[in-house]
Amino acid sequence: MEPLDERRLLLTRRRFFGRAAGSLGAGLGALALEQLLGPAKLFAAPSRPVRPAGPGGDFAPAPHFAPKAKRVIYMHMEGGPSQLDLWDHKPGLRERFDLDLPDSVRNGQRLTGMTSGQARFPVAPSAFKFTRYANAQDGAWISELMPHTGALAHELCFVHSMHTEAINHEPAITFFQTGNQQPGRPSFGAWTSYGLGSANANLPTFVVLITQGFGNMQALSARFWGSGFLPSEHQGCKLRSAGDPVLYLKDPAGVTREDRRRMLDLVGEFNAREAQESLDPEVRTRIAQYEMAYRMQMSVPELTDFSDEDEETLSLYGPEVKKPGTFAANCLLARRLAERGVRFVQLYMRGWDQHGNLPGEMRLQAAAVDQPQAALIQDLRRRGLLEDTLILWGGEFGRTCYSQGALTTSDYGRDHHPRCFTIWMAGGGVKRGISYGKTDDFSYNIVENPVEVHDLHATLLHLLGFDHRRLVFPHQGRDFRLTDVSGRVIPELVA
Amino acid sequence: MSSSGFSRRGVQLGLWPFVAVLGGTLALGAALAVGAWLCFVDGAIESLAGRESTEDIRAALGEPAAPVLPEPSTYDAAIRPILDAKCAGCHGGEKQKGELSLATREAMQAGGKHGPAVDATMPRLGLMLARISLPVDDDDHMPPGEEDQLTAEELAVLRHWLEQGAPFEGRLAGSPEFHAAGVEQASAGRAGSAEAPGKSAPAADGPPAADASALAALQQALVHVQPLSEGSPLLWIDFAAVASTLDDARARQLLAPLALQVADLSLARSPVGDPTLELLAGFPELRRLDVRATRVGAAGLTALSKHSRLAELVISQNPLGDGCLDALLSMPALARLHAWRADLSPEGLARLRAARPGLLLDDGAVPPSAALEAETEVKFTKPVGAAEIVPPSAGNGGALQGSLAPANTKCPVSGAPVVAKFSIVHEGRVIGFCCPECPKQFWADPAKFLDRLQ
């Protein structure tokens, strides 16, 4: 190396802060695009070829074995929907209305600060009627709040015995999304993107869509779809529901597509030179992401334009489908993303945190998701996409069988309950029409086949073709993985 | 490069400024203490440095070892005895029920009248894997319910072998841990063979590796191409990114050099038609083809009608009509067909179902799951002495239909403007409030506030 170049490359204080400022987006003033492109990382670990190479060299990663699912649609119900009022039918509780939860059931387990001061814990049976729908076993009891989903019971795989370590929203969502309660690890979608790569070079590999709910809503941090220590190209891209789906994606007035191309070519040249000198992999990521953004200028407007959908399909998703940002619109968008090869679509439905007003609020929450999510499954199925699209539905924890606050004949609330709750899956290699795991008569403890979050992650990765112990990334001196040092694939859930 | 190399450099780089600051502001003793701590961290990392993988760390943490394959884990030692004991009575030398013999490798690959018993390329399409995985009371379950069943351990080993692509040579990779949950294995400590898992899938006589320039051409054209699995020469190709601009000439040009490798292909939503399907007829490894919403016609499907491996086909959203039935009926390996909006008449669908009872046929009209029993009311009781309780859902019932937006503009409790997210449903109506506290007062006595809603 030339001595002058060497001198120039020495890390000076000025250079250090100059870069830090650039990575915060202050220099560019385009924060939204910055979010899409990902902040450059100062000390990003150099990637080594832990991913298996494709037949032509390192051009495409491949799963460890032939996968059952090629893509994931993960419907996260933020807040923790009550399993007792939706999926985990406990008719015996109706004979215990307003009686105290027996100490032998609670067994001194921890409570949140919201109910630990309550003098008593009165049992609140669900106010909703249940129907038993036929499935591959002896039927699934499903609440009147989910009639459309119930009619698809033969497609669904219920896990009634999920449990988690966290009792508050933020760590619980972080745990579900990243396999760890502490922030900083890559999200499940980022791992999927890292392991499988993109199947459509014109769109991000991992897309996030958010729907506002009713009642109490918790904050959704962007790190829930972050890439942690993985290269930043793997982080989720949030599509906005109002206005432009991606800010600053449109060229400003007076700038033609040719102008934009010329500008990117020149910037690309500078960046390539920088990448050669600094050997920083994040510069390469940045070049690739600018090119991706250029192609997204064409692909995103086409993606979000529903005018090519016929009336029959629109009506399948229900009356709210034409309103951007609703769960119905996002479910339809998820189908359009899936058929365009996007690997991981994360739908967030906010507002399942019913500490009070539960019967009145849950009707709204359920009405917002029931028909659209059932439509999504049907619509994928008839297009031949359901068999290799893995669908996951669930919150970050469940809710208590005792009432938070006053229990009256017309109203009750439920506190957070991490010790047991229900999730369901469908499609991509999952056993159809079954229920797995059991809770006790109070839906308070698990009595059969407990499934922890790491087990669920291991099983999902298995369906995507990965041995969860081998999908690793070296960071801070050890090989990290989504399941950390735990996780067991649950064969009973796999078709 | 071992992971320990990264770690040690990472730790030292990360802590250096920290030490420098401490050295400048605290007494020398404190800095020395930090130095000692650094040495300790270094030592701890040293002790992990000997462990190369998470597998070793897992073992060191005392996690249970995975169940293991019988030794030696070859086809002859581990698999053949199971087939001889549990299957050969009906599918062996003497009897060949369903025209299927499991006596030789060739016989398994050739299969019986319902298709190949094993599929090295896409294991889930092999019939043996499907049949042994069915519930015992299913009519298609193998061995049949009245016969001697596979033990849990045998099932785990057999499934493991089949999911690896049924390799006949060499040792089986990995361990059947996944299939053997709940199977107690006495011999702990051996975590499968050391060979790289997955490498065994393509047999020595499998297709050659794809031509690098053909793969590069696909990538250049922004077409997705990916090996089916690590080490496999077979490919999944998806034209989704360029569907709208694709044509037959381009598709043929890109695909032709990969005739021996394409196993899973999607041309969905592109304006390609029969000329491309005619090319695909000469792709021997093709298992799955998605031509949804394209311009394919009966002629193209006829070209594919003798394809011996095509098992999954998506022809939804092509107005094909009953003219394509003969082609579909003569596809020997077809196991799954999606034909929503393919203009197949009810008679045509019935003909297809009658002729191919094992075919999974989806015409988009799957009946809903039947409601076996439905609760008509929710009744709360207290067991001893207490009066009957009026159920909350009595005045609350009926699923909400239509808009989720509140009908009222003023909060019935406070009279303030409604904030949409503070809404509830009462008697099928969406009622909005101004804050999260007002609904609580409302629930205490709904009747008191209902007349304020007008």
Say what the pLDDT of residue A137 is: 94
Which among A197, A288, A292, A311 is positioned nearest to A246, based on CA atoms? A292
Rounded to the nearest 10 degrees, the angle between the axes of helix A188-196 and helix A169-178 is 10
Under the phi-then-psi rule, with left for phi > 0, alpha for psi from -120 to 50, and beta for the rest, what region is A215?
left
Tokens of A287: 């070049």
pLDDT at residue B284 in the model:
93
Residue B211 buriedness (CB in 10 A; 0-12 / 13-18 / 19+): middle
> Is residue B383 pLDDT above 90, yes or no?
no
Which chain B residues have a beta carbon less than 8 Å from that of A152?
Answer: 368-369
> What count of other Cβ atoms lies within 10 Å of the Cβ of residue A72?
25
Q: What is the pLDDT of residues B26-72, one digit of tens each?
A: 333 343 343 334 333 333 333 333 334 444 544 554 444 444 566 67
Contact A166, A172 (CB under 8 A): yes
A336: in domain: yes
Residue of higher predicted confidence among B276 and B165: B276
Q: Which residue has the higher pLDDT, A489 or B5?
A: A489
Cα A257 from chain centroid? 34
Query: Alpha-carbon distance B349 to B339, whole Å?
Result: 9
User: CA distances (Å), A173 to each of A105, A157, A196, A229, B415, in order?
Assistant: 26, 22, 23, 18, 37
Cis (ω within 30 of 0) for the bond into B143?
yes
> Which pLDDT value is given to residue A9?
58
Residues in Cβ contact with A301 at an 8 Å cutoff, skipping those fewer than 6 apart = none
Decide if A410 and B396 are in contact by the 8 Å CB cutoff.
Answer: yes
Whether residue A284 is contained in a domain is answered as: no
As separate numbers, helices (DSSP H) first and strands (DSSP E) second, chain B gives: 15, 10
Q: Does A25 fall in a domain?
A: no
Side chain identity, residue B188: A
Q: Which among A59, A65, A152 has CB closest to B369?
A: A152
Chain A residues close to B226, C-beta within 8 Å: 54, 60-62, 196-197, 199
Q: How many CB atoms lie within 10 A of CB A53?
A: 15
pLDDT of residue A433: 96
Which CATH number goes with the domain that contains A162?
3.40.720.10
DSSP A184: T
pLDDT greater than 90 at residue B371: yes
Q: Are strands B262-266 and B288-290 parallel, antiparallel or unpaired?
A: parallel
Residue-level pLDDT at B40 = 38
> By CB neighbour count within 10 A (0-12 exposed, 13-18 middle, 19+ buried), where does A493 fall?
buried
A438: in domain: yes
pLDDT computed for residue A48 by the predictor: 35
Supply B331's token pair. Answer: 């596809």
What are the pLDDT digits (tens) for B261-282?
Answer: 999 999 999 999 999 999 999 9
d(CA B96, CA B88): 9
pLDDT confidence of residue B8: 34
Identify the pLDDT of residue B28.
36
* CA dist B344 → A107, B291, B307, B321, B327 (Å): 61, 16, 22, 5, 13
User: Which amino acid is located at A66 in the chain?
Assistant: A
Q: How far apart are CA A373 and CA A330, in angstroms?
A: 10
Mean pLDDT of B328-341: 94
pLDDT at A311: 95
Dist. CA B277–CA B286, nearest whole Å: 11
d(CA A448, CA B42): 44
- The reply to whether A152 falls in a domain is yes
Is there a contact between A370 and A146 (Cβ–Cβ < 8 Å)? yes
Q: Which two tokens stand for residue A388?
A: 């290799």
Q: Per-residue DSSP letters for A67-98? A: -S-SEEEEEEETT---HHHHT---GGGGGGTT
The encoded tokens of residue B145 equal 């319910």
In this structure, are residues B255 and B276 in contact, taking their beta carbons and an 8 Å threshold? Answer: yes
CB B222 within 8 A of CB B242: yes
Tokens of residue B134, six digits: 């069915």
Mean of pLDDT over chain B: 76
> Measured between beta carbons, which residues in chain B are less than 8 angstroms from residue A48?
1
Q: Beta strand pairing status for A434-436 and A156-163?
A: parallel
Interface check for B43 against chain A (CB to CB < 8 A): the answer is: no
User: In this structure, is residue A430 part of a structural domain?
Assistant: yes
At residue A193, the pLDDT reads 93
Peptide bond into B257 cis (omega under 30): no
The one-letter amino acid code at A47 reads S
A391 in contact with B at a CB cutoff of 8 Å?
no
Backbone angles phi, psi at B245, to 5 degrees: -105, 5
- Could you give the 3-state DSSP secondary structure of residue B70? coil
pLDDT (0 to 100) of residue B352: 94
The C-alpha atoms of residue B317 and residue B339 are separated, in whole angstroms, by 7
> Å from A32 to nearest chain B CA?
24
Contacts of B439 in chain A (CB under 8 A): 356-357, 360-361
**Nearest CA to B124 among A112, A65, A267?**
A65
Helix (H, G, I), strand (E, B) or coil at A426: strand
Rounded CA separation A331/B98 (Å)? 44
Tell me the three state secondary structure of residue A165: coil
In a domain, A40, yes or no: no
Instruction: State whether residue A198 sits within 8 Å of chain B by CB.
Output: yes
Nearest in space to A136 (alpha carbons), one of B83, B369, B207? B369
Give the number of residues written for chain A: 495
Number of domains present in the structure of chain A: 1
| Rounded-to-integer distance, Cα A271 and Cα A291, Å | 12
Pairing mode, strands B312-314 and A130-133 = unpaired
**Are the Cβ atoms of A150 and B371 closer than 8 angstroms?**
yes
- Is the pLDDT at B185 greater than 70, yes or no? no
- The one-letter amino acid at A144: E
A422 Cβ contact partners less than 8 Å away, ≥ 6 residues apart: A83, A86, A87, A88, A158, A159, A160, A162, A394, A398
Q: What angle do CA A259, A263, A266 make, to 5 degrees?
A: 140
3-state secondary structure of A455: helix
pLDDT at B395: 43
Q: Let me know if B195 is exposed, middle or buried by CB neighbors in 10 A (0-12, 13-18, 19+).
A: middle
Task: Identify the CA nearest to A50 among candidates A170, A207, A284, A230.
Answer: A230
d(CA B69, CA B194): 12
Residues of chain A scoring pLDDT < 70: 1-60
**B429-433/B419-426 β-pairing:** antiparallel
The answer to whether the beta carbons of residues B196 and B167 sit under 8 Å apart is: no
- Tell me, rounded to whole angstroms, the distance of Cα B130 from its chain centroid: 15
What is the per-residue pLDDT for A442?
96
Q: Residue range B124-129: average pLDDT?
A: 83
Q: Are A150 and A131 in contact (CB under 8 A)?
A: yes
**Residue to test with chain A: of B177, B380, B400, B418, most A Cβ within 10 A:** B380
* Averaged pLDDT, B187-208: 42
Contacts of A151 in chain B (CB under 8 A): 368-369
Domain of residue A394, residue span: 64-249+310-493
Give the DSSP letter of residue B74. Answer: B
Residues 347-386 of B with CB under 8 A from A: 362, 364, 366, 368-383
- Interface mutation target, options A41, A316, A478, A484, chain B, most CBs of B under 10 Å: A478
On whether any CB of chain A is under 8 Å from the CB of B53, the answer is yes
Q: Do A134 and B227 touch (CB under 8 A)?
A: no
Distances (CA, A) of A269 to A15, A260, A263, A266, A273: 21, 14, 10, 5, 6
